Structure 1
């Protein structure tokens, strides 16, 4: 009887070992460095990706410039979803990526105010009604560069530069606007269309002709995480119809075949 018990226990143990060995492992997480303009869209994108593949994602939000600096310093990110082509190209040239930069979307700029009786327009920026204008830091944030281009395009940069309040990224710029520390500010259209913000304040599109195209690119990064296959899966997911539908819902333009 004792031998039978031992034999039965052994069979149970073997069964447990085999079932554990065959069970899919989902304890890994992709570390995705994400430009701040994409923070809300990326939450929805990563959720859809995880539901489809079982691969969990950690999002690290920041300005494209700051994230690039962190990557060069060895931050263990697996993939970089940037707000432009400049920083991914920089990382590609310096040997930090395993893929060439690829455009996944085109961003759009808006002028946004949380002051109830303020109707956003370029014309009011030079009035006494506006004392502070929030923009992302053009040194590290592509949407900040676009905002400066708009001001120069309309010939008002010199007259209103003293009103500019610089956020480290679009996220901090949005905080200046939502807290009403700045009466108005330039931000990404994806922010004002997000479920978290939609319907709050007043905003207006900035014509695409007023600034250079905001070509947002993605690259897979080299690191020691050994998650290249999963990073490639997310990279490919960004170009599926499912992902493109999500991006368009957040105001981005995408290329359709």
Structure 2
């Protein structure tokens, strides 16, 4: 009897040890991604993990904030920016493996409302609009694109007193959804994941730099092989279909 009990205990210890080895041996890939990618990246995370033994950990934020975090030593393996500007900043500062950087998707900028109002771009300077939400142009690409467009249209100086700044693209969308502002500049992809937002006017892409999402491997990553595998997946036909379903373009 005693021998049987000892055998069972030893067996459980072996199983526990094996499970620990499997868990410890599973590569963890830390991805710093623009907040506008939250929905699509969570789906890609689910799909990728179901096909590999790699565990993904997501860190969402404004592209500028993420770049600063990486520069300050925040552990990251892959950086996906909502603008080529912030990826170039990260690369120029020696933080990225330049050969790994490539565009993974694109987007469009729209003027959004949460009701049936007839607000359009040319009405932003009128009394019909009192508050306009945009991302902080200093760190939020959506805000940078919005500022470029407003300057190109000759509206920027006249709406300064109406601007409400968001810390990332998701916060701007939330401001518009809640009705705390009359309108705001968000991405086309935000229309897909919200049943409260309506595109009141589309911003002509000629009025701002192209909205490109580049991805690349952080130079200090200790998981280069896993990172390369993930980048291969995000360029796959399966991932491209997911990207399209979430309102992004190729």
* Common fold: TM-score over 0.5: yes
**Aligned equivalent of 1:106:** 106
SS of the residue 2:117 aligns to? coil
Superposed, 1:1-257 pairs within 5 Å as 27-100=26-99, 101-114=101-114, 116-194=115-193, 197=194, 199-203=195-199, 204-223=201-220, 226-254=222-250
Count of aligned pairs between the two proteins: 248
State the 1:222 CA deviation: 2.9
Q: Is the 8 A contact 1:119 1:202 kept in 2?
A: no
Q: What does the per-residue CA deviation read over 1:157-205, in whole Å, with 9 as the maximum and x for residues that have no partner? A: 11112211111111221222122221100011111112xx1x3132143
Q: How many Å separate the matches in 1 of 2:249 and 2:137? A: 22
Q: Is the 8 A contact 2:134 2:163 kept in 1?
A: yes
Q: Deviations over 1:29-72 (max 9, x none)?
A: 32111111111111112111112213222211111111000000
Question: Following superposition, which runs of at least 4 residues in structure 1 exceed 6 angstroms of deviation?
Answer: none
In structure 2, the CA distance between the partners of 1:17 and 1:193, relative to structure 1 (3 Å rule), is closer
Could you say what the CA RMSD is over the residues aligned between the two structures, in angstroms?
2.8
Q: Structure 2 CA distance, aligned partners of 1:71 and 1:102?
A: 18
CA distance in structure 1 between the partners assigned to 2:197 and 2:240 by the alignment: 27
* Cα displacement (A) at 1:208: 1.8
Q: For structure 2, list consecutive stretches of 5 or more residues without a partner in the other structure.
A: none
Alpha-carbon distance in structure 1 between the residues aligned to 2:45 and 2:58: 9
TM-score, normalisation: structure 2: 0.87
Structure 1 unmatched ranges of 5 or more: none
Q: Alpha carbons of 1:185 and 1:5: their partners in 2 closer, same or farther (altered >3 Å)?
A: closer
- Cα distance change, pair 150–46 in 1 and its aligned pair in 2 (3 A): same
Give the number of the structure whose residues are more often helix, by fraction.
2
Does the 8 Å contact 1:189/1:250 carry over to 2? no
Distance 1:138 1:22 in 2: 46
* CA spacing shift, 1:52–1:99, aligned 2, 3 Å: farther
- Structure 1 residues 54 and 119, CA gap change in structure 2 (3 angstroms): farther
